[in-house]
Amino acid sequence: MSSLHTFLFVDSAALSHHLSGWKVCGGACPSAYGEMFLVATSKYLLALCYPDSEAALTDFQKYFMAKYHFSELFEDKDLIQGWSQRILEDDPLPILVSGTPFQLKVWRYLSTLPFGETTTYQKIARTIGHPDAARAVGSAVGANPVSLFLPCHRVLRKDGSLGGYRWGLQRKKQMLAAEGVF
């Protein structure tokens, strides 16, 4: 994936200001790693996930809408198809992510990881100034709303093992293999 993406990291309290007046849409589309579900406005990609079931999709939608204080996700197949095409073509994308100050520190770090390079939860914790917070880093990594672009699949345990992955270890292995890591 391109490293030319533009990230707008926004504290949760400021999110409504950035999305004021924008219609937030959700929809499914194909990807190299299975069907993905996107959440976006015409200006920003907000979330990307890989639900393996209707229940997982419903849980993600509920989580996303509660976190971002939306009453509904609109359906706009053309908008979602446009985002899907840009992702498939590896176009630079404007991505807005919102979280706690700690999550944003972790996600900023993830945004700097080069293609094909891995790191550990412990290294992230040390780098962001919280050396004893490897578990909290793991939680922030798992809460990443755009996992393909804030590459949480590149985060391994300190012993080099895969650890977990919100969207399944098989998918994590596929993503790392595509980057020549496994």
Contact 97, 106 (CB under 8 A): no
Q: How far apart are CA 2 and CA 14, in angstroms?
A: 27
Q: Point out which residues pair with 91 in neighbouring strands.
A: none
Q: Which two tokens stand for residue 169?
A: 């270890």
Output the CA–CA distances (angstroms, integers) from residue 145 to 158, 161, 166, in the order listed. 24, 23, 11
To the query of whether residue 152 is one of the catalytic residues in this protein, the response is yes
Proportion of the chain in helix, strand, coil states, percent, rounded to 5: 40, 20, 40
Written as one letter, the residue type at 52 is: D
DSSP letter (8 states) at residue 53: S
Q: Which two tokens stand for residue 149?
A: 């672009």
Of 119, 135, 74, the C-alpha closest to 46 is 74
From the candidates 25, 29, 49, 152, give the one annotated as an active-site residue: 152
Q: Which residues are catalytic?
A: 152
